[in-house]
Amino acid sequence: MGSYRIAVFASGTGSNFQSLVDAQASGVLGGEINLLVCDKPQAPVIQRAREAGVDMFVFQPKDYASREDYEREIALELQRRKIDLIVLAGYMRLLTSVLVEPYTGRMINIHPSLLPSFTGKNAIGQALEYGVKITGVTVHFVDQGMDTGPVIAQRAVEVVEGDDEASLTRRIQAVEKQLYPEVVSWFAAGKIRLIDRDVTMEI
């Protein structure tokens, strides 16, 4: 049996990408990060991929007539590499059916709130603004909506007295870095199944 092949999509800092790379290096990911897909040629995540020796597909959306056009190119690259799982890690674009349909049940995202609360951008700021006492992290399957796919795992993070965006972000990101590699390892071990909106996990 060949190894379980993962493509990570990211647009920015790439600290989640890094946690996946580190988990692979320490042998706990259960799969191989085969490709980074990045829509921002200047993003810091590119340097991380270079240092980790991960192949990259970097593109600029403005060079294409439509989202479908660049997604078709990405899809070819993913097929060529026989990618098993797409892991979105701060990829700041909605996806179309070109990628969502063939990878239904095999594409996941991490979001810094307890969904369905605080979808979209600046979820941590939205939670503080609202005044919730508990927020957290969600890993979910990707569909064509914004953070609307079936939930795979959630971890709660308490909002404490005096928290600001920076302090809460630090605690949320620390949880992300534990949870995401763990969830990816469940996929690599074949433990997660999606049937309609039902997510089941084999222990």
Catalytic residue among 70, 103, 111, 168: 111
- Does 14 bind ligand GRF (CB under 6 A)? Our answer is yes
Residue 161, both tokens = 């007295």
Give the x/- contact pattern for ligand GRF in 73-92, rule: CB under 6 A: ----------------xx--
Span of 6-14, 23-31, 95-103, 191-199 interacting with ligand GRF by CB under 6 A:
6-14
Evaluate whether 181 touches 148 at the Cβ level (below 8 Å).
no
Closest CA to 117 of 106, 100, 107, 132: 132
Q: How many residues bind ligand GRF (CB under 6 A)?
A: 14
Contact 186, 106 (CB under 8 A): no
Contact yes or no for 191/31 (Cβ under 8 A):
no
Q: Is 140 a catalytic residue?
A: no
Please check whether residue 115 is in contact with residue 140, taking contact to mean a CB–CB distance below 8 angstroms.
Answer: yes
Q: Site map for ligand GRF, 111-140, x if CB under 6 A?
A: xx----------------------------
Binding site for ligand GRF (CB under 6 A): 10, 12-17, 89-90, 110-112, 173, 176
